[in-house]
Structure 1
Amino acid sequence: MKMILPLVALGLLAQAQARAQDAAAGEKTYAQCRACHQIGETAKNTVGPVMNGVIGRKAAEREGYSYSNAMKSSGLTWDEATFADYIKDPKAKVPGTKMIYAGLKDDKRIADLVAFLKQFDAEGKKAP
């Protein structure tokens, strides 16, 4: 029994590390978002709003972007769980959204994308 517990603990630790967020991998996933969204200190709203400081921000509150009525009335705040749910199927989460993206289904890639996004504050400064 004494040998089983450490082995179980090691197994759980390995699983947690496998699910750990990887910002560098998230940057690669973000490449597909760049067609519509910018991020960083020089980012501007384009087809979609700037993603600076998105994690923790209320939906439809990026100044200077024309959001859909559906997004304005969604009541969402982009915490990690809400963003992950949204990015899997944007039109299901917010029916009427202007976002035409079909969705990202892979949980690991979503976690990595969130890690990448979390690096940027509202002004687009990247945390060291």
Structure 2
Amino acid sequence: MSTPKVLTTLLGASLLAACSGDPPRPDKPEAPVVQVADVTQLTGDVEAGRMGFSQCRSCHTVEAGVNRVGPSLHGVVGRPVAHEAGYRYSTAMAAAGGVWDEQRLYDYLENPREHIVGTKMTFPGIKDGQRRADIIAYLKTQAG
């Protein structure tokens, strides 16, 4: 295998490891996994969401106009899907349409590849509904 392919393989494995699964919540280490269909049934904790967002930082930022492997999530709540300037979206994401409201983010973050088949996002998702609600509460504070 050539050096660029080895580096690409190692980088991909590192990103998957950084994004795989739900890291423990220091504030609630034994909390049961919350499963609800409607995000409005939960109250998101901004500080817990800020901490939970740390697993997203290898691919995303909340700085306006700063894209990484994934698009900037600054102002994502309420933004049309696939509309971050300067980011090249997958065909599936570009065709998805709609708006990133709280419920859509909540559903998407549970299993991105199932929610929008063909997305470039390799993240396996966050099964715990409360953790998703916390991250969304944090993202809501990251608007211009």
- TM-score (normalised: structure 2): 0.69
Residue 133 of structure 2 is aligned to residue 111 of structure 1: yes
Runs of 4+ in 1 over 3 A off after TM superposition: none
CA distance in 1, matches of 2:117, 2:74: 24
**1:60-81 Cα deviation digits (max 9, x unpaired):** 1000000001000001310000
CA distance in 1, matches of 2:56, 2:81: 17
- TM-score (normalised: structure 1): 0.77
What letter is aligned with 2:128? Answer: D
Among 117, 123, 128, the alignment partner of 1:95 is 117
Query: Unaligned 5+ residue runs, structure 2?
Result: 1-40
SS in 2 for 1:117: helix
CA distance in 2, matches of 1:86, 1:20: 18
Q: CA RMSD in A?
A: 1.5
What letter is aligned with 1:105? Answer: K
CA distance in 1, matches of 2:62, 2:86: 15
Query: Which aligned pairs between 1:1-128 and structure 2 lie closer than 5 A?
Result: 19-40=42-63, 44-121=66-143, 123=144
For the Cα contact (< 8 Å) 1:76–1:82, is it kept in 2? Answer: no
Bigger Rg, which one: 1
SS in 1 for 2:133: helix
In the comparison of the two structures, how many residue pairs are matched? 104
* Identity, % of aligned positions: 42
What letter is aligned with 2:59? Answer: C
What letter is aligned with 2:99? Answer: T
CA distance in 2, matches of 1:76, 1:112: 22
CA distance in 2, matches of 1:98, 1:26: 23
Q: CA deviation at 1:44?
A: 1.1
Query: Unaligned 5+ residue runs, structure 1?
Result: 1-17, 124-128
